[in-house]
Amino acid sequence: MIKLKRFLENPILLPSIKNDWEKKAAFNGCVAGENGKFHLVYRALSSPRHHSGFNMEVSSIGYAESVDGINFINNKQLIKPELEWEIYGCEDPRITRLGNKYFIFYTALSSYPFSADGIKVGLAITSDFKTLEEKHLVTPFNAKAMSIFPEKINGKIAAVLTANTDIPPSKACIAYFDKESDIWSREYWDKWYSSLSEHSVHLQKEGNDQVEVGAPPIKTEHGWLLIYSYIQNYLSGAAVFGIEAALLDLNNPQKILARTQEPLLTPEKDYEVYGNVANIVFPTGVVVHNGKLFVYYGAADTSVCLAACNYKDLLDDLLLQKNIRLQRFAKNPIISPIEDHPWESKATFNPAAVYEKGKVHVVYRAMSQDETSSFGYAVSSDGFSIDERLSSPIYIPTEDFEKKKKPGNSGCEDPRITKIDDRFYMCYTAFDGVGVPRVAFTSIKVQDFLNRQWNSWEKPKIISPPNVDDKDACILPKKIKGGYMIFHRIEPGIYVDFVSDLNFSNGKFLRGDMLIRPRKNKWDALKIGICPPPIETKKGWLLLYHGISKDFYYRVGAALLDLNNPLKVITRSEYPILKPEEVYEKEGQVPNVVFPCGAVVVDGELFVYYGAADSVVCVATIKIDKLLDGLTR
């Protein structure tokens, strides 16, 4: 993981006892570079003074300059609270040059004691940092941290800002303007705010967290690089400030191409831990200088500090996520419930898949209106379009351990199929609605399957222990040291066990040991389970798995296991390769779920079949070599 490295010179700007207007603090600086010169604007906090009827510390915007981006001189007060809408303070400037003007957006305070209604965005425009040519109130609603993009997007001036910052949860948003005066048009913003959610960039990971836009975006050939503040547990009162990065689409910056999964920087040094407000690192400016990404941040609301990383390394890290992401089929979903088929009228999801005789055979979980699950069958010649789908289930609950014992969910769930020699072996979750879910096991000859002799399924057996919630099971398609390796899930991780044969005639149940466990503070932090059966590749066994974090989103990641010793995990994806983004994945029986149970490789392409929101069947693909290269990097 890329991390920001602090400069030894930190803090690079401190409060000045010479200037009363910046005597208490000088922090949250933003830089614009031009012709070898760095222009720094920053928030300055005065010592207590009598101001507009109150004895208070007053924020204004200071200015300083530098030739190296580290040592700043010639400090002066640039923006003062003068007008009614900013009279109680000007805070946290962001500066962008567009054309021959510098646009300095800042937080304008119009009420004291401070309240959300009096915290809005203001704008000052200058061309020389000597005089202000214009000043405007921008937003008529609570907002902060606004800046414009350094060039037009699709012919429009574009801005990023944080709306409802002091009425959490905040929203990072994008706004477009036909002309400059629209930036401070009350009519424009009233209309924009009325459909706020349509403008948001979905950076928030969990409900108790807070997002605030950091520095003005930087254009790269791959997307807009946005450095921002991510505050974990903000609403629960145990806030942890961090600096993160995202790569946004060049033409549609609401679309996140990739993002860091862990903070680039958190408060550690004394100057970040102790100050006017403890434990804060708050990014407000970035610039690329000599191959380094300089990130300017406020430390403990007291000083301006600087940290950096290799610019190319950060982009490579973000691009790696983008490049190993599964690509959805444009016509998803490929299987949906059919009202006229009672057995699959409520939902169709979580499909197994096998490739045989030039076709992809999909066995999917189907649910009736009384929430009984059975398995349906569909076939595809190209892996995307369904050529045929049977009108009756191919597998139904027959045993006492899977028959409904009380109203509600029950039956046969989430199949996973492995081909070994001339048989298909199927593991699935059996649930009677009363006990705990358990792993069931059956098989069928490949030829009987292809001939649709569904009465040839072997009588299923339960192979997981009683009174243990166990599911997400499958068999490795190759013997390892004379035995068969079985994956299954006992919360919170992926377990493995070995059996000498697939008859399960000795009466023993699966136990085994945990192979892969959740990772703290990552996308798979809460619990994980295997997706399709592992696929043998030249670089190892490719294992796709689902992970759940505290936000209860189901995402999909990948791991590589050693070919000869699959108990050895070679590598594991830092980022999800598929996550809920589309409406059909975010809305359904269980929202925010992508859940594969089947995958096949056809002509070097990995086809992953997944359930979306526990409601429909979808497919997504990637070149398998591309995924493997990304994992092994």
Judge residue 211's burial from the number of C-beta atoms within 10 Å of its C-beta, 0-12 exposed, 13-18 middle, 19 or more buried: buried
Range of the domain at 427: 327-632
Same domain for 415 and 429: yes
Last residue of a domain, one of 289, 305, 323: 323
Confidence at residue 622, expressed as pLDDT on a 0 to 100 scale:
97
Same domain for 389 and 261: no
Same domain for 300 and 434: no
Same domain for 308 and 338: no
Beta strand segments in 85-149, E: 90-98, 101-109, 119-126, 134-137, 143-148
- Measured CA to CA, the distance from residue 547 to residue 534 in angstroms comes to 16
- Measured CA to CA, the distance from residue 241 to residue 275 in angstroms comes to 14
Same domain for 139 and 96: yes
Last residue of a domain, one of 323, 356, 390: 323
> What are the structure tokens assigned to 548, written together?
């759940």
Domain of residue 219, CATH code: 2.115.10.20
Same domain for 419 and 498: yes
Name the phi and psi angles at 188, rounded to 5: -60, -50
Do you find a cis peptide bond into 407, omega within 30 degrees of 0?
no
Q: Which helix (H) or strand (E) element contains residue 73?
A: strand 73-79
Tell me which residue has tokens 């050939």: 221
Q: Which of 110, 594, 38 is nearest to 304 (CA)?
A: 38
Q: What is the mean pLDDT of each run of 10 residues along the chain (633 residues)?
A: 94 96 98 91 97 96 97 97 98 95 98 97 96 97 98 97 94 97 98 96 86 97 97 84 97 93 94 97 97 98 98 91 89 98 98 98 98 98 98 98 96 98 98 97 98 98 96 96 95 96 87 94 92 97 95 94 97 92 95 97 98 98 94 85
The bridge status of strand 423-431 relative to strand 540-548 is unpaired
Paired residues of 159 in beta bridges: 148, 175
- Measured CA to CA, the distance from residue 192 to residue 597 in angstroms comes to 42
CB 614 within 8 A of CB 595: yes
- Measured CA to CA, the distance from residue 96 to residue 229 in angstroms comes to 18
- Measured CA to CA, the distance from residue 574 to residue 262 in angstroms comes to 10
- Measured CA to CA, the distance from residue 533 to residue 13 in angstroms comes to 56
- Measured CA to CA, the distance from residue 391 to residue 385 in angstroms comes to 17
> What are the structure tokens assigned to 551, written together?
């936000």
Tell me which residue has tokens 């012919």: 155
CB 320 within 8 A of CB 260: no
Q: What is the DSSP string of 337-360?
A: --TT-GGGSSEEEEEEEEEETTEE
- Measured CA to CA, the distance from residue 577 to residue 281 in angstroms comes to 30
Same domain for 395 and 345: yes
Same domain for 401 and 446: yes
Confidence at residue 388, expressed as pLDDT on a 0 to 100 scale:
98
> What are the structure tokens assigned to 458, written together?
């072997």
- Measured CA to CA, the distance from residue 466 to residue 148 in angstroms comes to 60
Last residue of a domain, one of 305, 323, 341: 323
Same domain for 264 and 347: no
CB 76 within 8 A of CB 53: no
Q: What is the DSSP letter of 20?
A: G
Confidence at residue 207, expressed as pLDDT on a 0 to 100 scale:
76
Tell me which residue has tokens 């629209």: 182
Confidence at residue 135, expressed as pLDDT on a 0 to 100 scale:
98
Same domain for 390 and 265: no
The bridge status of strand 410-420 relative to strand 372-380 is parallel
Same domain for 405 and 297: no
Domains of the chain: total: 2
Same domain for 257 and 189: yes
CB 305 within 8 A of CB 6: yes
Q: Which of 176, 226, 234 is nearest to 202 (CA)?
A: 226
